Amino acid sequence: MADRYLRLTSTAPGRFLTRRLGLPQPTPLRRWSERTPALDGPLLHLTAGPKGLDGLADTATRAGLPPASGTPGERYAAVLLDATHLATPADLAEVHTALHPVVRRLAPSGRIVLAGAPLSAADHHQAAAQQALEGFVRSLGKEIGHGSTVNLLRLTDPAAAESTLRFLLSPRSAYLSGQVLDTTGTLPTSPGDPARPLAGRTALITGAAQGIGAAVATALARDGAHVLCLDVPGAQAALTRTAERLGGTPLPLDITAPDAAEHIASAAPDGLDALVHNAGITRDRRLANMPAERWNTVLDVNLAAVLTTTDALLATGAIRRGGTVIATASIAGIAGNTGQTNYAASKAGIIGLVRALAPRAAAEHGVTVNAVAPGFIETRMTAAVPLLIREAGRRMNSLAQGGLPEDVAETTAWLADPASAAVNGQVIRVCGQSLLGA
């Protein structure tokens, strides 16, 4: 369903009316397309602290934006602040000194990325200063406005962060704000072609017939992957249309079937490089009115099937070394939601799965494990939500609008990129910096 309020506020009368009434004024977001693959304008690279991180400037240049020229009054598509060497609370003054003069010169749908360091267990002063950046980023994200985003990237080696910087400094990250991304895991073996990073790789997406799953399959196919599109047999017609459109393979299958993993392995005899668990259902009711069948069905599809399928495919080596598992959580699993005890439990379970399995899967199988946690995304499911609740879902985030399936898909594609191998064990919220949850 179209966001008519967003359309209204994009007109001069709508802007005047909503300003007078003190209502949210969302800015239409600049998203990736073949016609608009990059942000418009230069990248301003700044340093806070005694020095910057060696190699970060060169890595940022390869992310695709031209460097700022220093012309008076220049507007920036993005600002990258290197704060990796902040080590004391006194150093934090340099964050203010660096950003205060330039924050108003950020273009609409711009990006601010702070580069920070991992928290030192041996130096609580450094840990305090670096943790302070998280509160700063989340607060600035809530006040920056104009469709712009603010994120924190923790890193030690710029080479491990190149794909993440490319993602954050592009239209692909339009609905990602107030997030902390860690790129301190295993270095990618080779960066590959940034335009088609999944060329020669195979990806399986569950729940791929429509909605977010179809958008994920589209993004992975665009990036070069052969996509196996899985959904329940009852959705076979839509599933086949999606797979054929992408040159992929339809796989009508109930993911909760005891032999689901065997069927998946048979459909990918050479192995999988990306396993994307997108399939999910809701059966909403307050706990007092929820029969066991509604509880069990949601937990079976959203969590148990993810666990059993992933375990089986890892155990048999069906997910190749250098591959990835990406599961779909939800902000409901972080913040909870009335009438969704079953759904929230299943999505919180996904977060537990990712955090516990990621280090072991990397060590034993050479496979990364991450999750995306969507907020309010414009789908047929959210279109059926009552009007007032739907409007609250759209407006209760820093960007004051709902996300699109493509926003989840772009985040998934970034995680599936083999150059993102240093990202592991993380839950990435694709929620426009929702005001709910942590």
Catalytic positions are 343
For 62, residues 6+ apart whose C-beta sits below 8 A from its C-beta are 162, 166
> CA-CA distances (angstroms) from residue 251 to 205, 219, 263, 406?
10, 18, 9, 22
Q: What are phi and psi of 382, to 5 degrees?
A: -75, -25
Alpha-carbon span 81 to 99, nearest angstrom: 8
Q: Of the candidates 402, 408, 432, 370, which has an alpha carbon nearest to the alpha carbon of residue 176?
A: 432
Question: Is residue 70 a contact partner of residue 105, using CB atoms and an 8 Å limit?
Answer: no
Closest CA to 126 of 85, 183, 94, 154: 85
Q: What residues form DSSP beta bridges with 397?
A: 434
Pairing mode, strands 149-154 and 249-252: unpaired
Cα distance between residue 272 and residue 220, in whole Å: 13
- Give 171's DSSP letter: G
Query: Among 35, 57, 25, which Cα is nearest to 44's?
Result: 57
Contacts of 279 (CB under 8 A, 6+ apart): 206, 207, 213, 230, 231, 255, 301, 302, 305
* Positive or negative: CA dihedral 128, 133, 134, 136: positive
| CA–CA distance, 406 with 425 (Å, rounded to integer) | 22
* Contact residues for 229 (Cβ-Cβ < 8 A; gap 6+): 205, 208, 209, 213, 214, 217, 239, 242, 243, 246, 248, 249, 250, 251
Number of other residues whose CB lies within 10 A of the CB of residue 270: 9
Local structure of 115: helix, strand or coil: strand
Identify the CA nearest to 216 among candidates 424, 7, 413.
Answer: 413
> Are 251 and 257 within 8 A, CB to CB?
no
